[in-house]
Structure 1
Amino acid sequence: MSAKRDTMLRGLDLASASGLEIGALDKPVVPPATPRIFYVDYADTPTLRHNYRNDPNVEIGDIVQVGGIWGEQTLAEAAAPVAPVDFVVASHVIEHVPDLITWLQELGSVLKPGGQVRLAIPDKRFSFDVLRAETQYADVLTAWLVRARIPQARAVIDHIYRVTTVDCAQLWDGSVEPASLRPNNRPEHAEAIGRDVLEHGRYHDVHCWVFTPASFAGLMAELADAGYMQFKCLEFVDTERNNLEFFAALQPCADRTETVASWKAAQASVEADSPSASGRQALEQRLQQLDAELAAAALARDAAAARAAGLEQALAATRSEMDRVMASRSWRLTAPLRALLGVFRS
């Protein structure tokens, strides 16, 4: 959490700035001891503790004290005791919201001039969303047009049907191909949940939206260009190796051209820095090949060094034997005879 916290809160003066954190649950990015932090969630603290009492991934005793409930009322109403604020933080929240456009607009409604939004967003390439298609502009606009208050049937079905169990590190190093993975649930289960949404309007907590860093930045550029989103990109941090989330810092901006340009620049930066899955696999294979060649070269070098050492020892032994022979009494006594033979041969 420390590295993530440092990235998400970089440049914010927590000692004096006022802020909201949305959906903190038991793992707040902004520490509860921060003087002017206000937590917002879909329910109050006792209800959250009850709802998550059997979840092994949630420590119910650490669930933060919720100050505002955002659901039936707007965010401005939920945060009325403290709004407007200097910053809003949301970690792994944006992918859950049924109506992305309205959600972003409501974030803007509680910020002071110059305020910022800090987001942590899962990267589908390294999460259980790996089998799902990236969210498209039409998906987001449709949810806005119907003013979705619950995850829509299509998103729920897609999540239930395609969610899979993954190992983030294996997806990074290419030892597991996404095409080899299988969904966790059967089609009839996804159909039943979809029918429940359509017939009873029940809320099912799923990832409504699916992103990579590049697709998120591209979508933000499209929404900004169409006038549905008025946040420029201040900072964009790509997914780090063996991690599954990326980060974005947003700030309200009325200049559409500047806003679109900022997101296109963010998209270009991550497209240039992040190879595709096949590209990563090719690089991994090339690294393995180079490692094997280096190991073979090292063995050949060691063998050559051993051969050279053996030759040096043989040469030294031969020279020693030659010196011994030439220093012997017999060699000296036969010297005249060798000289005479040399005369006859010449």
Structure 2
Amino acid sequence: MTHADKVPRWLDPRPGTGVEIGALKSPIPGIAPIYVDRYPPFDAEKVFADYWGSADALPFRDSALAYVATSHVLEHTANPVAALCEWARVTRHGGILYLVVPDHRYTFDHTRPLTAPAHMIDDYNRGTTPSDATHISDYLDGLDWSRWDPAGTPERHAATREQLRTAYLAAVAAGEEINIHFHVFSRETVTSLLALMNARPRRPCTLTVIDSAEKFPTDRGDGFLLVLRVAKPFRARWRAWRDRRHPALLPTARPFLQSPHR
């Protein structure tokens, strides 16, 4: 099962109708979205990014897009609930969230405990950000270093772990963001999280799983696919209809090349 099997069914192929977040150099094939990222390219590699934005602060108006697509992004969010809420905010009623999430069983996170949905709700209630030290030890002390650095020795792994710990803690102390795998997922924990989100009173939307796949895509095999349908209340649908002629991008949207992080 690959993107070629799923994308034509769920995602609008017309240019600019959706957004892909964090594509870096490996965009999802078969779509022509607006690309958003917040990280500079590595080693001068090409990065697919049109505008600056983070997972929980996208440069689009409410209900402006047909879909949000992400692949191996959710684990890099310190606050997954805030990210999912933001992705739903910019997606129209009836639109799609197309999420490929790493399955902990097939990554270097396999030795870490799964993140409980209640923990992610707590991160949301606390307003956890990437400038937070909460998850550093869980990440560095829990991952399988033999898979993170297969050529390394135990001594090199230990040295790297402490170097990264020092760097991450210094960055947080300076108010800077860090980029780690904050959370560890299975398909069951994500669907349980969605159930908790959908049970909230006065929720801004409902997210319903309408398709899924394991070991997705098969040429990579370390993730799972969840396709979510976004349903919004009448008032949100009315506002979207009222603003339907407005540009999808906010006036404050910044082209990626002008990002201070480039």
With the length of structure 1 as denominator, give the TM-score of the two structures. Answer: 0.56
Distance 1:166 1:119 in 2: 28
Tell me how far 1:254 sits from its aligned partner: 5.2
Map 1:221-232 onto structure 2 (within 5 A): 221-227=195-201, 230-232=206-208
C-alpha contact (below 8 Å) 2:4/2:30 kept by paired residues: no
* Corresponding position: 1:247 with 2:245: no
Distance 1:153 1:206 in 2: 11
- 3-state DSSP class of the match of 1:154? coil
C-alpha contact (below 8 Å) 2:55/2:77 kept by paired residues: no
* Corresponding position: 1:102 with 2:68: no
- Residue among 83, 88, 95 paired with 2:68: 88
Q: Deviations over 1:167-210 (max 9, x none)?
A: 6xxxxxxxxxxxxx999446755753564355323322111110
Map 1:1-346 onto structure 2 (within 5 A): 4-11=2-9, 12-15=11-14, 18-30=17-29, 34=32, 37-43=33-39, 48-49=40-41, 52-53=42-43, 60-61=45-46, 63-64=47-48, 66-71=49-54, 74-75=57-58, 78-80=59-61, 84-150=64-130, 152-165=132-145, 184-185=157-158, 188=162, 192-193=166-167, 195-196=169-170, 198-227=172-201, 230-239=206-215, 243-253=221-231
Number of residue pairs matched by the alignment = 222
- 3-state DSSP class of the match of 1:116? strand
The one of the two structures with greater contact order (alpha-carbon pairs below 8 A, sep at least 6) is 2
Which residue identity lines up with residue 233 of structure 1 in the other structure?
V
Which structure's residues are more often helix, by fraction? 1
List gaps (5 residues or longer) in structure 1: 55-59, 168-180, 256-346
- 3-state DSSP class of the match of 2:191? helix
Tell me how far 1:211 sits from its aligned partner: 0.8
Change (3 A) 1:110 1:243: same
C-alpha contact (below 8 Å) 1:137/1:223 kept by paired residues: no
Tell me how far 1:148 sits from its aligned partner: 2.3
Change (3 A) 1:253 1:185: farther
Change (3 A) 1:207 1:183: farther
Change (3 A) 1:182 1:141: farther
Distance 1:211 1:183 in 2: 27
Runs of 4+ in 1 over 3 A off after TM superposition: 181-195, 226-229
List gaps (5 residues or longer) in structure 2: 148-153, 234-262
Tell me how far 1:106 sits from its aligned partner: 1.0
C-alpha contact (below 8 Å) 1:21/1:30 kept by paired residues: no
C-alpha contact (below 8 Å) 1:92/1:121 kept by paired residues: yes
Distance 1:248 1:182 in 2: 39
Distance 1:85 1:134 in 2: 32
- 3-state DSSP class of the match of 1:115? strand
Tell me how far 1:15 sits from its aligned partner: 3.6
Larger radius of gyration: 1
Distance 2:197 2:80 in 1: 10
Change (3 A) 1:86 1:73: closer
With the length of structure 2 as denominator, give the TM-score of the two structures. Answer: 0.72
Q: CA RMSD in A?
A: 3.3
- Corresponding residue for 1:302? none
